[in-house]
Amino acid sequence: MAGIYIHIPFCKTRCIYCDFYSTTRSELKQQYIRALCTELKTRKGYLKGEPIETIYFGGGTPSQLAHEDFEQIFRTIKEVYGTEHAEEITLEANPDDLTEEYVSMLRTLPFNRISMGIQTFDDPTLKLLNRRHNAAQAIAAVHSLRQAGFRNISVDLIYGLPDETDQRWERDLQQAVGLDVEHISAYHLTYEKGTRIYEMLQSHRINEVDEESSVRFFSTLIDTLGAAGYEHYEISNFCKPGMYSRHNTAYWKGIPYLGCGPSAHSFNAETREWNTASLEGYIKSIEEGHRSSETEILDKVTRYNEYIMTSLRTMWGVSLTYTEEAFGTELCQYCTKMAAPYLQSHKLEMQTDRLCLTREGIFVSDGIISDLMFID
């Protein structure tokens, strides 16, 4: 099985914290979709005939596309790869795009999962972040999706925002739980160089939350969603039983995927490729017949390190049986040796043949993952 990721780079406005590749140049949309479909056709061999299990439209803001845009892309995917095995087809969407009319249109397409970036239900903070929606629109969007028949809805939240308090974060979580969605992703705000929010931090117009508060917010997140019946299946992701994101989980489990569009990454177990992070450069290179991209050939140690980095973040953990089969006895022995102190301190635990983070270990997961990775 394999997945396809489609990058839709268009946004009406830029959020001040976002460092994903996006553009407001919507006049290039039709030209872009033609180039995207060309890439899908020319890269048919990358996945070596593996059936497509998941399709994910990310961005940018994929909900900026119209019905005919989606139809053109789906028609290409169906013709080239087939969709008969596609169990999960996700659209990332902004709440203000999800009007009743737009949601009704989405029901005529193959989408069966919607991932919505709410971030917070605090209106002043949404305005600071340059989000286009308010809390009422986010809540209304979830209700519209439900009424239209969507039964797999995910919402994104961000914590550690400027002036975050325990009360505000708890209120955000309770409102998210109250929406009764199947999946919740929650990420701590990061200040990436080149973003407007980073510039605001550097010029002391806003303040970063302290580490003690960050730990407390994360603890509240785990407790609140756990009490509401959500499984903590990946460090930043929670779901109702069995409703985990199949597409994102495939990334963490090392399942091949094809990424199309500017800045999109691809992985087929042997190589990793990524397209140029430029809409104009991407379109030009596709039209001229030489896709602008870079390729990394993955050696055994690189693949082992990536497996440790992604798998240990999940509730499924690191399989020692798989580690030995895929990477050899030496790296498996290295892994168990480096894990021993964390097993002793109860930051890791063994579940059959799997190394898994304990609750205590989750809070220091970066350090554990770093120690288990092999550095020459």
Would you say residue 282 lies in a domain?
A: no
Q: What's the pLDDT band for 19 if we cut at 50, 70, 90?
A: low
Chain mean pLDDT for the chain: 95
Domain shared by 116 and 39, yes or no: yes
**Vertex 189: Cα angle to 12 and 3 (nearest 5):** 65
The lowest-confidence range among 2-6, 86-90, 249-253, 341-345 is 249-253
- Please report which residue ranges of the chain form alpha helices under DSSP H: 29-42, 67-80, 100-106, 123-128, 135-148, 166-178, 196-202, 211-227, 246-252, 279-287, 300-311, 320-327, 329-344, 359-362, 365-372
- Inform me whether the pLDDT recorded for 208 exceeds 80: yes
pLDDT at 15: 80
- What value does the CA radius of gyration of the chain take, rounded to a whole number of Å? 21
Give the rounded percent of residues in the chain with a pLDDT score beyond 90: 89
> What mean pLDDT comes out for the span 123-129?
93
Alpha carbons 40 and 5: distance in angstroms, whole number: 10
Name the residue among 9, 93, 80 with its Cα closest to residue 41: 80
pLDDT at 16: 66
pLDDT at 17: 74
Would you say residue 289 lies in a domain?
A: no
pLDDT at 110: 98
Name the residue among 61, 64, 141, 77 with its Cα closest to residue 104: 141
Would you say residue 209 lies in a domain?
A: yes
Which residues on neighbouring strands pair with residue 91, listed in sequence order? 57, 114
Would you say residue 310 lies in a domain?
A: yes
- Inform me whether the pLDDT recorded for 134 exceeds 70: yes
H helix or E strand, kind and range, residue 239: strand 237-239
Would you say residue 191 lies in a domain?
A: yes
pLDDT at 218: 98
Q: Specify whether the CB–CB gap between 308 and 329 falls below 8 A.
A: no
Domain shared by 194 and 321, yes or no: no
Would you say residue 334 lies in a domain?
A: yes
Q: How many domains does the chain have?
A: 2
Name the residue among 320, 326, 321 with its Cα closest to residue 343: 320
- Inform me whether the pLDDT recorded for 363 exceeds 90: yes
Amino acid identity of 11? Answer: C
Give the end of a domain, one of 211, 229, 251. Answer: 251
Give the rounded percent of residues in the chain with a pLDDT score beyond 70: 99
Compute how many other C-beta atoms are within 10 angstroms of the C-beta atom of residue 178. 12
Domain shared by 224 and 310, yes or no: no
pLDDT at 60: 87
Domain shared by 26 and 126, yes or no: yes
pLDDT at 187: 96
Between strands 231-234 and 237-239, the pairing is antiparallel
Q: What's the pLDDT band for 33 if we cut at 50, 70, 90?
A: very high
Domain shared by 305 and 209, yes or no: no
Give the end of a domain, one of 210, 226, 251. Answer: 251
- Inform me whether the pLDDT recorded for 29 exceeds 70: yes
Domain shared by 150 and 244, yes or no: yes
Name the residue among 173, 156, 151, 87 with its Cα closest to residue 119: 156
- Inform me whether the pLDDT recorded for 13 exceeds 90: no
Domain shared by 168 and 317, yes or no: no
The lowest-confidence range among 73-77, 107-111, 128-132, 212-216 is 128-132
Domain shared by 227 and 353, yes or no: no
Domain shared by 106 and 194, yes or no: yes
CATH number for the domain including 179?
3.20.20.70
Task: Give the residue with greater pLDDT, 233 vs 199.
Answer: 233
Would you say residue 270 lies in a domain?
A: no
Domain shared by 307 and 242, yes or no: no
Give the end of a domain, one of 251, 283, 311. Answer: 251
Alpha carbons 46 and 338: distance in angstroms, whole number: 35
H helix or E strand, kind and range, residue 158: strand 153-159
Range of the domain at 315: 300-372
Domain shared by 17 and 93, yes or no: yes
Sheet with 348-351, strands from edge to edge, namely: 318-319, 354-357, 348-351
pLDDT digits (tens, 9 = 90+) for 138-173: 999 999 999 999 999 999 999 999 999 999 999 999
pLDDT at 247: 97
CATH number for the domain including 356?
1.10.10
Compute φ and ψ for 176, nearest 5 degrees. Answer: -65, -45
Q: What's the pLDDT band for 20 if we cut at 50, 70, 90?
A: low
Would you say residue 279 lies in a domain?
A: no
- Inform me whether the pLDDT recorded for 175 exceeds 80: yes
Distances (CA, A) of 298 to 36, 285, 373: 26, 25, 15
Domain shared by 220 and 321, yes or no: no
Alpha carbons 359 and 308: distance in angstroms, whole number: 18
